Structure 1
Amino acid sequence: MVRVDFWKNPIALEEMTPEDKYFYLYLLTNSNTTQIGIYRMTKKQMAFDLGYSIETVQSLMERFTLHHKLIRYNPITRELAIKNWGKDNLQKGGKPVMDCIKTELKDVEDTSLISYVAEAITKEEIRSLYESFCKQDGEKEISDQADDDTYPETECEELDDSFVPGDTVLGQQPGIENNPEIEDQTQDVKEIVEFWDNNGFGLSNINAKLQLLSWLEDSSFLQPKAVILKAMAIACANNKRKLNYIVGILKNWENESLLTIEEIDSYHENPRPVPKNKHSTESFPAGRAIPDEVNLDLSAGEDW
């Protein structure tokens, strides 16, 4: 539901561009929305519905995650959460509403998104229901760790205001065992994350890792894992271990239509020549040209 006071919201009035408003209204009203404000949606589907390119959708997602701070998105489970959904839409309780919320919360794989939406819910009864699912997940994780002492530890605190999944483990994302599409990507995810962690990009920078992993799905590369690893290797070689540097490399390759490792290697071995502007580099003598057949006596007319 979209409230009419959306148009009076200071963020919409002062900070959002017309494109931002269009995109946010789409997030609030598309056919995948749920009662709980958390739903699955791929960026490719967003691009198709809106008539945008994948790059435009990616840019808008980053803007709403990092600048407006109104959504969170898990690129592994493809789940999107809207921060103020509970404040705007969950004002009334009752058994039918609570049953619907409970059913939909059971389907959420990344439970950190449940906590994220719960923060803005004002009705105590509904917020408690959200929080109960977070507690259940925490108890399950502790039990799993007790059964297996080698189970990797997870990050327990939010590192910043951007998206940090509560139960993401190296190479082991939420709900993989129930999602064949994600299971196929498990090895790719593990290799990229291990390269990131082992080469000084920042062990605790989980949000940056997830943004980089989104290139596995949301790029035109035919060999996305290999291309991402190559870009990371170049960043290491240049001592530029930052996400924006890697993304810059990837965007340059996409702009040049270099979609495989072979094309990238060939391009760097034989870079395309840069055309020169003859008019800007060729020099001309000042004044009129003197014909070759003229014998010019520079001493004529001089008195010695």
Structure 2
Amino acid sequence: MAKYRQVHVDFWQDGFVLDLTPEEKYFYIYLMTNSKTSQCGIYELPKRIIETETGYNRETIDKLLSRFIEYGKIRYDDKTKEIMLVNWIRYNAIKSSTVISCMKKELKSIKNKGFIRELITLCIRYGYPISTLSIDQGEEEEQEEEREQEEEQEKEQQENMSIADVSDFYQQNFGMINPFMSETLITWVNDLNCELVLEAMKRALVQGKPWKYANSILKEWAKKGVRTIKDVQALDEEFRRKREGQANSNSSNKTKSESEYDYDF
């Protein structure tokens, strides 16, 4: 189903927008209309995705995010990689049952609970039916506890790894590391984690592919919001089902293994 985001024509005459630089206007429009946006105005947006979609480098992105945080227009959580558009619900009505249902579903997946609390406060301020947005507290606490346990287990696994392990694996299987490649590996480890970078390299080796193939895998994982090996396994299963469906509809289709993706390199 197609998704659309509305930007009122008065946007360009808004006093705040008029004072923005062209670069800031473009970035503000991007934050309101990119493919990751949600009905509640809180969504996950890794900096790697912003780089890919806007063409800006990391330094520029950090600078622009900091500016809009200072302007009071957004919140950004580097840990969960979630962003909140502070004025989103002010200009996007949430009174219809369809919109409310969508928002309730979205709120359950938001990791930064501070963003949810701020959203609830804003709903009250603008007179929206806050009761319809409430999440069952018992269910929320149970889900939060399960997430914390999973995160703790993943943290323990990742603590046993380091960038040195990633670098050693690269040198043993792909070649010597130059300064550019070292910076690339560090960036991926920071954006995802050591475990996922190692997994991508292992998959490239299984397919007999060079580093560029592993890099393409990491880009795809970042784009799809992959954060753990469990997420990777879910993506593998989705890919397997898709391939099976294609095979059933057309027996002449080429058969591929579960881990063989059509990555460009």
Q: State the TM-score, normalized to the length of structure 1.
A: 0.45
TM-superposed CA distance for 1:119, in Å, is: 3.6
Distance (Å, rounded) in 1 between the aligned partners of 2:55 and 2:153: 25
Tell me, yes or no, if structure 1 residue 83 matches structure 2 residue 86: yes
| Unaligned ranges ≥5, structure 2 | 1-5, 161-182, 191-265
Q: What corresponds to 1:94 in structure 2?
A: 96
Q: What corresponds to 1:222 in structure 2?
A: 186
Tell me, yes or no, if structure 1 residue 25 matches structure 2 residue 29: yes
Letter in 2 for 1:79: E
* Larger helix percent: 2
Letter in 2 for 1:56: T
Distance (Å, rounded) in 2 between the aligned partners of 1:178 and 1:55: 32
Letter in 1 for 2:88: W
Q: What corresponds to 1:2 in structure 2?
A: 7
Per the alignment, in what secondary structure is the counterpart of residue 222 of structure 1? helix
Per the alignment, do residues 106 and 12 of structure 1 end up closer, same or farther by CA in structure 2, a change over 3 Å counting? same
Structural mapping, 1:72-221, within 5 Å = 72-90=75-93, 92-121=94-123, 123-130=126-133, 132-133=134-135, 136=137, 140=141, 175-177=147-149, 183=155, 187=159
Q: What corresponds to 1:70 in structure 2?
A: 73
Distance (Å, rounded) in 1 between the aligned partners of 2:64 and 2:51: 11
1:9-48: CA deviations, max 9, x gaps? 111112x111111001000000001111011110011011
The structure that has the greater radius of gyration is 1
1:36 to 34, 40, 43: 40
Q: Does the 8 Å CA contact 1:41/1:78 hold for their aligned counterparts?
A: yes
Q: Does the 8 Å CA contact 1:12/1:21 hold for their aligned counterparts?
A: yes
Q: Does the 8 Å CA contact 1:76/1:182 hold for their aligned counterparts?
A: no
TM-superposed CA distance for 1:63, in Å, is: 0.8
Per the alignment, do residues 176 and 221 of structure 1 end up closer, same or farther by CA in structure 2, a change over 3 Å counting? farther
Per the alignment, do residues 93 and 71 of structure 1 end up closer, same or farther by CA in structure 2, a change over 3 Å counting? same
Q: Does the 8 Å CA contact 1:71/1:83 hold for their aligned counterparts?
A: yes
Distance (Å, rounded) in 2 between the aligned partners of 1:186 and 1:85: 36
Distance (Å, rounded) in 2 between the aligned partners of 1:76 and 1:42: 10
Distance (Å, rounded) in 1 between the aligned partners of 2:28 and 2:153: 27
Letter in 2 for 1:99: S
Q: State the TM-score, normalized to the length of structure 2.
A: 0.51
Letter in 1 for 2:18: L
Tell me, yes or no, if structure 1 residue 46 matches structure 2 residue 10: no
> What RMSD, in angstroms, separates the aligned Cα atoms of the two structures?
3.7
Distance (Å, rounded) in 2 between the aligned partners of 1:85 and 1:37: 5
| Unaligned ranges ≥5, structure 1 | 142-166, 189-218, 226-304
Per the alignment, do residues 88 and 94 of structure 1 end up closer, same or farther by CA in structure 2, a change over 3 Å counting? same
Per the alignment, do residues 22 and 101 of structure 1 end up closer, same or farther by CA in structure 2, a change over 3 Å counting? same
Per the alignment, do residues 182 and 58 of structure 1 end up closer, same or farther by CA in structure 2, a change over 3 Å counting? farther
Distance (Å, rounded) in 2 between the aligned partners of 1:11 and 1:185: 46
Identity of aligned residues (%): 33
Distance (Å, rounded) in 2 between the aligned partners of 1:115 and 1:70: 16
Per the alignment, in what secondary structure is the counterpart of residue 122 of structure 2? coil
Tell me, yes or no, if structure 1 residue 57 matches structure 2 residue 61: yes
